[in-house]
Amino acid sequence: MDLGIEGRVALVLGASRGLGRAIAEALGREGVRVALASRSAEALEEVAAGIGTETAVVAVDTGDEDAVAALPARVEEALGPIDILILNTGGPPAGGALDADANAWRDAYQSLVLAPLALARACVPGMRERGWGRIISVSSTSVREPIPGLALSNANRMATVGLLNTLAREVAADGVTVNTVATGRFATERLAELYGSFEDAEEQARAEVPAGRLGRPEEYGDLVAFVCSDRAAYLTGTVIPLDGGITRSS
């Protein structure tokens, strides 16, 4: 299937590993020019070498408000205006509702809400002017059902969904779509950190996930590539669960 996005420019945050890397690779297979962003430029070089299309590597810390605001201009200088924005800023530390101090809450809000806002603010005007754009947020099933022990993530990801769904309605008529993927359990380093090991995560998935397994990162990348496509032009303002059936709420 031709997704109609060959030659487009994408900025993928958190692209050095896990779901961000899988998304970058999937977009690369469709001929998208990909700007790979994470804290470590060195880690991104390996990913860039395997993309197969024109790439750019940009190191950025999403906790640095000024650096985030400047990121789109750096990408445009290297590859051109951003058509596809993948918001993947990672997860804050685990903990209960009252465990984290005010600084931890501020850091989580900066990473999960203010950084996406700054990037959207920089990218959306150009998308609207050109009549085409895609914004996808890599989120969590916690926006449907809060996950025990992940209070910082639960609260701030819900705020981001509210922001992006509001934006979706404002820009839909201009050819710009905005969607969120509610991510279940995927075989990534982040999940292994939360569960202690890949083996423990897989064992729990067999018992708790209706599909009986962890998701594969490439499955995630393929879904996101489709949502970025011309074929998905009528899909906007949604939260798409990709979780093997574990979310019970509709």
Which of 1-10, 73-82, 183-192 is predicted with the least confidence, judged by mean pLDDT?
Answer: 183-192
| pLDDT mean across residues, the chain | 94
249 pLDDT higher than 80: no
76 pLDDT higher than 80: yes
The per-residue pLDDT for 74 is 96
The per-residue pLDDT for 193 is 82
Which of 71-80, 85-94, 175-184 is predicted with the least confidence, judged by mean pLDDT?
Answer: 85-94
The per-residue pLDDT for 139 is 97
The per-residue pLDDT for 117 is 97
Tell me the average pLDDT across 136-158.
95
23 pLDDT higher than 90: yes
Q: What is the pLDDT of residues 231-247, one digit of tens each?
A: 999 999 999 999 999 99
The per-residue pLDDT for 126 is 97
Q: How far apart are CA 169 and CA 249, in angstroms?
A: 24
List b or e across 39-72, with b for residues whose CB sees 16 or more CB atoms inside 10 angstroms: eeeebbeebbeebebbbbbbbbebbeeebbeebb
Residue 250 confidence class, pLDDT cut points 50, 70, 90:
low
Tell me the average pLDDT across 155-179.
98
User: How many of the other CB atoms lie within 10 Å of CB of 248?
Assistant: 9
List b or e across 89-105, with b for residues whose CB sees 16 or more CB atoms inside 10 angstroms: bbbbebeeeeebeeeee
Q: How far apart are CA 99 and CA 151, in angstroms?
A: 9
> Between residues 2 and 225, which one has the greater pLDDT?
225
> Between residues 47 and 193, which one has the greater pLDDT?
47
Beta strand 239-242 pairing with 55-59: unpaired
Residue 63 confidence class, pLDDT cut points 50, 70, 90:
confident
Domains in the chain: ranges and CATH: 9-185+216-242 (3.40.50.720)
Q: What is the pLDDT of residues 40-51, one digit of tens each?
A: 888 899 999 999
